[in-house]
Structures are given as C-alpha cells and as structure tokens.
Chain A
Amino acid sequence: MNKLISSVTLMGMGLYGILLFNANKLGLYIHPRFFEESYIASIVAFIIGIISLVYFIYTEKNKLIIQIKQIVNNRILMIAVLLGLSFFINSIFLIVAALVVLMPNKNGIPKEFASALLTLGIISIGLFLPAKGLSSITASQRSIDLNSINLTQDTISAVQNFSKSTTNFSLGDWIAMQNFNPDPEFYVDKEVKVSGFLYKPTNLNLNTETAVVARFIITCCAVDARPVGLRMQLIEDSDLKPDDWIEVIGKFGLDKNNELIILAENINKISEPTNPYIY
C-alpha cells in the first residue's frame, strides 16, 4: 500500500511543481534561483511516479485490490476527505460521502491510512487552493527594520542608474538607493511610481493618514521573507484596506519627523502580481 501512496504522491507533487512553474506561480514560494531545480525535480518525480504506479499495479494487482477495499471500508476518514473535497471543488463529493456512509463495513483502520491522508492532503491543498503570497499579518511579525536591503546584482545596477533615470525604479530599487545614500533631503521632489501591498505597521507609531507600501524580500523561500517598504501619505476618502495591492504615483517629501514619505497624487488598486516579492 505504501508503494501505491508513494507513487501517487510522486505523481501529484510532480504535477503540482509543473503546474506551478507553468502558471508562473513558483515565485510565490521560492527564490528564482531554485526554479530550474524545482522544475526538473518535478518532471523526474512525475515520470518516476507514473512508472512505479503502472509497475506496481501490473505486478501486485491482487494485493492492491484487497488493500484498497480495506481503505474504502474505513468510512469516517473517507467521509472527512470527501467533505473537504466538497468544500474546495464540488458538492458532488457530498453525494459520494453519503454513499460511503451507507456502505457495509468490516475491517479496522489500515496503518498506512494516516500517511496517505497526510501526503494526499498536502497535495490537494497545493493543487486546489489558490496560491497566495504572504500577507501583512506575517509582515507585522517580522518588521524590525523596514528599509534594510542587501545590494544584489539588480539593486547595484539601480544605484548605478540613479543619475540617469529613476522613472523605472521599483520599490526594491528605491530602498536599495536609500541604503546607499540615507540622507532624506536627497530624494525630495523626485517622482516615484511603485507598487506593493498596503501595510500599517504598529511599531512605527504612524498616524492615521500614513501607511507603508510594502513588499517582502526573500532569499530562499517564503519562510525567510522580510518586509521592506516606503512610508506614504494616504489620500482622504480612499477605501483602502491593509493587504490591498496598490500602485502609488507621487513625489517624495518629508514628514514632521524629517522622515522620507511619498506624497501620493494617485493611488490605484491593482491585482496581486505574479511575482509579489523582491529577490
């Protein structure tokens, strides 16, 4: 039975990786430097999964049929799985669940069922729940220093391009530039157009009209994400909520404490981009 679970898991994880890569959503979870490895591993896993599935079914047919019957007989867990599926996919699964309730039962719980539930559960979560980036809840747990960034290749080129043009500067570029030259006066009246999610940190003592347009920086995967952001002046009467993705157009200015702040002229709501993080 373990072999069957294993081969299905291999197939499922392979499929999940391939789908994520093709939908350009791998970036929600890991740094681009892992993309190729992840894609190759997914393909390998998918192929090995299919080969083993076919092989095991072909060679151990009778054994498998008995074991599958045992699992099907284990109704409570079946019902739980089907209920879950009905939530995420279709209410058709509820009818199947009702059929499971009505089925006769003889045997106890097979030992491997827990591992099957675990692995198939995580795969169905991956495959059927919409992939999402981290939210401001996580940001609020991790924000110590909202504008510290490492100079990577991209950000170094941003610093080098500063004298030429800043129209294409992203949030990451501005923050890298600020690390390079922390003097706020230097940026006043520069035009700025950045996108990120709206975030109201509690530890910065911001007033109600000020918020932060923020993004996460990741170096390996979402586990190590750190938020960075720029302060911005909110426009009155806007119905923006934390976690809304926004594009801010405006100019840099200084607030009362002499901190750099974006004086927004226009704030547009946008949908979450396919690569919401800074790498």
Chain B
Amino acid sequence: MKKIKELANFNKIILLLGLLVIFFYQIKGGYNYFNFSPEGQLIVLRVQDFITLVLSIIVEAFPFVILGVSISTLIGINFFGWLKKTTYNNKKVLLPLYLLYFYSSKIDSKLKKNRIYSHVKVSLLGVFLPVCECGNVPVARRLLMGGFTVSQSITFLLAAPILNPVTFLTTLEAFNYDKSIVIIRLLSGFLIANFIGIILSFKKPQNEFLNLDFYQEICEINEHGHSKNTLKEALNIFNREFIEMFKVLIIGAALAAASQTFIPRDIIITIGQNPVLSILAMILLAFVISICSNVDAFFALSYVNSFTIGSVLGFLIFGPMIDIKLLTMLRTTYKAKLLAIVTLFVFLFSFLIALLVNFIK
C-alpha cells in the first residue's frame, strides 16, 4: 500500500515537471504550435478540414435538433392535449387548428385495431412536422413513450423526412424540369416506410426492439407519471432529450466527416454511367454524406449530368431514410439488430426502385 502511494507521488512530480516544461516553452516561444514541416502542414490542413466538416454538420443540424426537441417537449407536457381541448371549446375561432387536431385525435382510437390504416396514418404525420431526419428522432422517442409501437415509430422515422412540405417544395424546385422524379420520390418514400413498418408490426412483443436504456426510461416515466410543475417538467424533458441527441450528433458528425476526409470521393464517383454500379455508388454517397433531407435535392441535381437518373433517385430515396449520422442517433433508441434489418430493407427497396427507373427511362 505504501509503495503504491509513493508511486502516485512520484507520478505527481513527473506531471508537475512536464507542465513546467510546457509552461516555459509557451512563455518562450509564444504560440507557434502550428509551425510544421511541409508534410506536417498537410496533416494540419486535413485536421482543419475535418474540424470544419464536423462543425458544419453540427451547425446545420442544430436548428432541426432544437425544433425536434421542442416538439418532443410539447408532446411530453401534453401541450397538444391542452390545445385540442382549447380548440374544441372555441371551435369557430380556431377552425383550421380544430380540423388538424380532429385528424390527430382519431389516431389514438383506431391505431391499435387496424394495422395498415394505422401505419398509413402515422406515415403522413410528417406533413405537419417539417423537420428533417435528425429532428425526427426526439419526436419519435416521445411518441414511443406515448404508446406508439416500435413499428409505427419506424414508419414515422422513415416517412417523415420525405413526406413533408419542405422536402416536397425543394425537390420540386430542383427537379422542376422533370416532375416524375418528385412523384416517384414521394411515392416510394411512402411505400417503403409503410411496408417496413407493417412487416415489423408482426413481430411480438415489440419492445424487444428497443435499446435497454431507453426501455428503462419509458418504464420509469410510466411509473412516476407526470409531475405537476409544468415548467420543471418541460425544462427536464428539453434538457434530457437535447443532451441525449447532441452527444450522438457530435459522434455521428465526426464519423461522417471522417469518412469524408479519409475516403476520397473520387472513388465513389468514378462509376457514373453504369446502370447498376452507379446506383450503388450514389447510395453509398448518400450514406456517408449525411446531408439534410430538406435540401438534398439541390445536391443530387449536380449529379444528374454525370450519373444515371435512377442512381440520383436512389440517392434521393435512401439518403433521408438512412445515413451514418442518423444511425448513430437512432442507436440511442433501438437495438442494432433492428437498425440493421431496416437499413437492409431500405437499401433493397431503393435499389430496386432505382434499377426499375434506369431500365424504363
């Protein structure tokens, strides 16, 4: 025991000495840490670009995370229930709002009975939530806590990024010359999301798909119920959801940026005109690039000339549903096995649709 203590003290002295050396070096040399040899400077540039990429993903996703967490908080404190009651009491004044909540209130009653009806309805929820994929994760988590089954939440997650007004408008703006692309994108998003959701709904019990930590969280909430202090409840939910999402957003951004920095994009893109390989390349690109579904149409547009049209569609269908950043965020909620199944299905379907388009056009 004594020896260990002595060893610890020895380490302490070494550490202090090290700090002293660094201190004098800083005093003497100022801040010339980045004076490297030419080869070293290349590494510095690469690191600098890596940091820029990470920050750009985070800065870009941040508003959507805040929006998603806000909606999730509003659901969590039963704001929509209150709003429903208020609109019901003032029907004439708030007619449009009332219609909206008339629609949403129907979800609860029929949701458990009719499998196909419920999934179709859930997949159209995105129309009211113009959030891109990363903002949808906290909302889906809250919906799960509110009694959605796993299959319904997956349908929501897959459909909402494509079937929402912002994505629709930007896709329409980008592919104005060929509106069939917009239609195929929306339709296949709708079909894939529902199909995968309905297949998953046959698996019982559904909770087996959930991550253990998240499952415990749901159980705790069901046990404790809601506290009466709304401000406290709201702040608690907001902060808990935010930090949970932000942590994995950083990791996801770092992974996406690393794959961008270390896999040259040339390798992915050199296979432009082959009807099969080009689809694989564009889906791989969508997977690593992780850009927001609200604007990815503009990005895809720049590949229209050099790539087959089917592969561009593959990018537009696969990208919003699955990418590196999104998978890391989903991992907080679902088991890896489920995510692997969903990824495989989405890949197969978008590949088939893209192939079909390539052979028809």
Contact = CB atoms under 8 A, between A and B. Distances in A.
Interface of A: 2-3, 5-7, 9-10, 13, 17, 20, 26, 28-31, 33-34, 37-38, 40-42, 44-45, 48, 51-52, 55-56, 59, 79, 83, 86-87, 91, 94-95, 97-98, 101-102, 115, 118-119, 122, 125-126, 129, 131-138, 141-145, 148-150, 203, 217, 219-224, 226, 243
Contacts, number: 183
B69 to A, nearest CB: 9
A28 B175 CA distance: 27
B59 A137 contact: no
Given A13-B62, A17-B59, A30-B59, A144 B298 contact: no
Contacts of B20: 98
A12 to B, nearest CB: 10
14 contacts: A17-B62, A28-B52, A33-B295, A38-B62, A40-B63, A94-B22, A119-B247, A132-B52, A137-B45, A141-B266, A219-B298, A219-B302, A223-B291, A224-B289
Contacts of B236: 3
Interface of chain B, helix or strand or loop or mixed? Answer: helix
B26 A86 contact: yes
B265 A55 contact: no
A223 B58 contact: no
Contacts of B52: 28-29, 131-134, 222
Given A144-B306, A150-B302, A223 B56 contact: yes
Given A29-B56, A220-B60, A222-B52, A118 B46 contact: no
B23 interface: yes
Contact of B48 (A5, A26, A94, A132): A132
A118 B58 CA distance: 13
**Which of A6, A51, A83 gathers the greatest number of chain B CB atoms within 10 Å?**
A6
B243 interface: yes
The list of the 4 closest CB pairs from A to B, nearest first, reads A41-B63, A222-B56, A6-B243, A6-B239
B246 A221 contact: no
**Which of A52, A56, A220 gathers the greatest number of chain B CB atoms within 10 Å?**
A220
Contacts of A83: 19, 22
A18 B328 CA distance: 27
Contacts of A28: 52, 56
Given A135-B49, A220-B291, A243-B45, 11 more contacts: A20-B59, A28-B56, A83-B22, A95-B23, A97-B19, A134-B52, A137-B42, A137-B45, A220-B292, A221-B56, A223-B256
A91 B26 CA distance: 7
Contact of B269 (A20, A115, A144): A144
Contacts of B42: 137
Interface string B88-132: 000000000000000000000000000000000000000000000
Interface of B: 12, 15-16, 19-20, 22-23, 26-27, 31, 33, 42, 45-46, 48-49, 51-60, 62-63, 66-67, 70, 231-232, 235-236, 238-240, 242-243, 246-247, 250-251, 256-257, 260-261, 264-266, 269-270, 289-292, 295-296, 298-299, 301-302, 305-306
Contacts of B54: 122
Nearest to B269: A144
A101 to B, nearest CB: 5
Contacts of B266: 141-144, 203
A119 B260 contact: no
B295 A94 contact: no
A101 B49 CA distance: 34
Contacts of A226: 302
Contacts of B56: 28-30, 221-223
B12 A102 contact: yes
Given A37-B63, A38-B59, A91-B23, A52 B239 contact: yes
A79 B15 contact: yes
A16 B250 CA distance: 15
A201 B12 CA distance: 51
A48 to B, nearest CB: 6
Given A7-B239, A102-B12, A223-B291, A44 B66 contact: yes
**Which of A30, A98, A134, A221 gathers the greatest number of chain B CB atoms within 10 Å?**
A221
Contacts of B66: 41, 44-45
Given A98-B19, A219-B298, A222-B52, A34 B60 contact: yes
Given A55-B235, A86-B22, A220 B265 contact: no
A44 B66 CA distance: 8
A94 B19 contact: yes
**Which of B23, B235, B251 gathers the greatest number of chain A CB atoms within 10 Å?**
B235
**Which of A52, A87, A203 gathers the greatest number of chain B CB atoms within 10 Å?**
A52
Contact of B57 (A119, A141, A142, A223): A223
Contacts of B239: 2-3, 6-7, 10, 52
A181 B286 CA distance: 31
B291 A101 contact: no
Contacts of A48: 235, 238
A55 B247 contact: no
